[in-house]
Structure 1
């Protein structure tokens, strides 16, 4: 197990050092959700009234409702940012060097995934601390209970980024592909409005949102913050993680994926 742990430590440390040297990335990760929380929520508060729905026992403000969705936003954008670094590493050749290490390809990709997820969680808890300063507080134990949900959701979204990075040939194509992934996943979810509100507008859109794995990641985080368990959301997130990771392994297999066609 020693070589596996050495590889894990090296890859996670590399991700951490890269994040520390890119301070603007940390700021950008917080600016997006804070703009939604402090600016857009003020305008949507009156337009989107919320009824009492699980896990809430009383009426809540719109700002309180969107906090779990904004946590998911941080995980989503950081997962995609991590996949961008993979595309860059592949163009510079360092990714090929990593994948030639005498360890299973799946373990190397998992180490990369774990490193990016750890960074995402640091960003999420920083955002939650700032939100608490503005009066949006959760139960203290809710922050602890949310950690497993954040880890699982971060792994799922990071695995999605891994899968996408394996099929993007050039860095220039990354932005276009991400626009067709990030924004539909975020807006067609329960991050900004509950599914019953979407059903009032279009049952079809509601069904699309219910099928979206990001919706279930957000709901998993939402329930965890209130120390409740959402088994269906957990199942969907785990299934999506397995699917995305399988796609990433296929894509980074030199016998079949993009690595061979670029080599």
Structure 2
């Protein structure tokens, strides 16, 4: 086995074991979206319903609409948590050990992104299985069809988080920046409300949502869960993956670690 494959499996195994050993992180990863689905959606169920719009072929209840947004939220939180571990590794000195190996920095970041994407996929699948238990009708084949969309979203959000971790050196500072990034991206998107409803209430908020790349993560996953492809959203996210990935590699300065 080559040194690159050894490094890849070692980083992947380390990130997965770290996730399962951090019980509070595992618990919050499962409970957070379920609370939104069961509590938040239940409160708006009678007041909000979503009329017929792609990819839906009929009128749907609000809790069914927000499921793709909650899937994207899971990916967003996990990506930022993975980036937080990058800052932790830097403070503890384990990042220096990795950098001493004859492996390119871009490959190290790629391994981190793959690990984050695998953890995101695992969490999303568990959430979708639990969502089906509370009468949210998601086609079973949508799980499989959505895998590429989940990985693309995880690559983009993970690269964005890694890029931020390259500029923010202290663990405490990064935790604060996480909230500054996560909540605006989530709330100013189509995760909770359709864009046409946002346009009716506030035109400037609508345009902010339109320029928020997280919106296209949500829409790409939404269409994929129903066996459809949102071409424009996919192109935008692929472009975001290339840009954010390039910036993450360019801003990763081993001499400053």
Q: TM-score w.r.t. structure 2 length?
A: 0.96
Q: Secondary structure at the match of 1:169?
A: coil
Deviations 1:196-228 (A, max 9, x none): 011011111111111111110111110000000
1:31 aligns with 2:35: no
2:219 — aligned with what?
219
1:160 aligns with 2:137: no
1:21 aligns with 2:16: no
1:249 aligns with 2:239: no
Deviations 1:154-212 (A, max 9, x none): 11111111111111121110222112100000000010011001101111111111111
- 2: CA distance, partners of 1:91 / 1:154: 24
2:188 — aligned with what?
188
1:114 aligns with 2:114: yes
- 2: CA distance, partners of 1:48 / 1:240: 32
- 2: CA distance, partners of 1:26 / 1:124: 12
- 1: CA distance, partners of 2:179 / 2:233: 25
- 2: CA distance, partners of 1:152 / 1:74: 14
Q: 1:191-206 residue pairs with structure 2 within 5 A? A: 191-206=191-206
1:104 — aligned with what?
104
- 2: CA distance, partners of 1:136 / 1:112: 32
Tell me whether 187-196 or 203-212 shows the greater mean CA deviation.
203-212
- Shift of the alpha carbon at 1:96? 2.1
Alpha carbons 2:48, 2:61 under 8 Å: kept: no
- The count of residues paired between Structure 1 and Structure 2 equals 257
RMSD value, Cα: 1.3
Q: TM-score w.r.t. structure 1 length?
A: 0.94
2:230 — aligned with what?
230
Deviations 1:231-251 (A, max 9, x none): 111111111111211221122
2:41 — aligned with what?
41
2:175 — aligned with what?
175
- 2: CA distance, partners of 1:182 / 1:200: 25
Q: Secondary structure at the match of 1:137?
A: coil
- 2: CA distance, partners of 1:243 / 1:60: 36
Deviations 1:71-109 (A, max 9, x none): 001000000011111111001111122123211111111
Any unmatched runs of 5+ in structure 2? none
Q: Secondary structure at the match of 1:136?
A: coil
Tell me whether 6-15 or 96-105 shows the greater mean CA deviation.
96-105
- Shift of the alpha carbon at 1:46? 3.3
- 2: CA distance, partners of 1:237 / 1:90: 29
- 1: CA distance, partners of 2:43 / 2:126: 24
1:56 aligns with 2:56: yes
